Chains A and B, each alone.
Chain A
Amino acid sequence: MKHVTHKIQAYLDGELAPADRERVLAHLEDCAACRREVDDLNRLFTTVEQAQQAPTLAPIWPALAERLLERRRPVWSWSYRGLAAAAALTGVLVGWQLGQTPTGSANAPAVAVEAGYLEARLPSLDQLWLQLDELDGEAGS
């Protein structure tokens, strides 16, 4: 006698085709081992089904509606954010560029040092020019 063990779960779940179901039923009439299998599986499934414990979830719609709304917003909010960031970056770059010019306040100390250095040497330069003029006069006379 060929047992129908592999068909019993599908039989219990009502998933067998009518012809297969008839064959299983006929077999169970004569087979105590397969009837025990039916009882064992029934007991197992009952135990499993009774172990299901999922708490009831509060309605998710308010949170979901908010998320849907947020997904519609970003097109604008990100554009504005992008524009603001671009404006800020432009300002920084312009300011930095202006700071590179000699008149910029950032270079003021360096310019002052350079001017002081030249001023200190003007008398020497004046003397040099006078000496050159004298030499020119002597040469031209």
Chain B
Amino acid sequence: MSQGDDILMQRTAAGEEQAFRQLVARWQQPVFAFLLHMLGSVEEAEDMTQDTFLKVHDQAGRYQPAGRFRSWLLRIAGNKARSALRRRRILRWVSFDPVRHDRPGAAADPLQELTRRETAAEVQAAIATLPERQRAALVLKRWQGLSYQEIADVLQTTVPAVESLLQRAAETLRQRLAGAGPPVARKERS
């Protein structure tokens, strides 16, 4: 039976390596994906993913079990990414090479696959130009599926501020991506 993150953190704090191992297995991919879209480098994102979990291990004793493990974890990851970006003296987000890192799709139609990749590259290039916090909010919402409250926790801000960041990000993207992407519209999102 799968245990909750808070319980696993408590067990980690008590020195149970197996509990920490479960947490790592459960969360390494979301942390890696987040860091990858922040840093633009697979190698660096992988290193930072490890660093993030080392920090989690160090901080396990201070973790307050409030059912917000994901946002706490991603806040640590975000801080790691920010430090890495500072080290590079580039306080902006960079896009990774979509051709190099994209996994081969299973699309039957090569032309359709090519179009999808081109669109993905355009979107990532546009996202890379967003200011840091707008980009963080966008990635956390659209690719990590966090709620506004969770994003606010990660970015250490308020829900209205998150709403504003997402609105500005969407507006900028819409201008830059005018005409890009498949004409897919959804009736309802939740």
What is A's interface to B at a CB cutoff of 8 Å?
A: 6, 9-10, 12-15, 39-57, 59-61, 63-65, 67-68, 71
Contact = CB atoms under 8 A, between A and B. Distances in A.
Contacts, number: 122
Given A57-B28, A61-B24, A47 B46 contact: no
Chain A interface, DSSP helix/strand/loop, else mixed: helix
Query: Interface residues of B toward A: which range?
Result: 35 or more
20 contacts: A6-B167, A10-B148, A12-B189, A14-B190, A43-B185, A46-B181, A46-B185, A46-B186, A47-B180, A48-B142, A52-B37, A53-B120, A54-B101, A55-B42, A57-B49, A60-B49, A60-B53, A61-B21, A61-B24, A61-B25
A49 B183 contact: no
B50 A60 contact: yes
B39 to A, nearest CB: 12
B190 A51 contact: no
Interface of B: 17, 21, 24-25, 28-29, 32-33, 36-37, 42, 46, 49-50, 53-54, 57, 98, 101-103, 116, 119-120, 122-124, 127, 138, 141-143, 147-148, 159, 163, 166-167, 170, 173-174, 177, 180-187, 189-190
A47 B24 contact: no
Contacts of B28: 57, 59-60
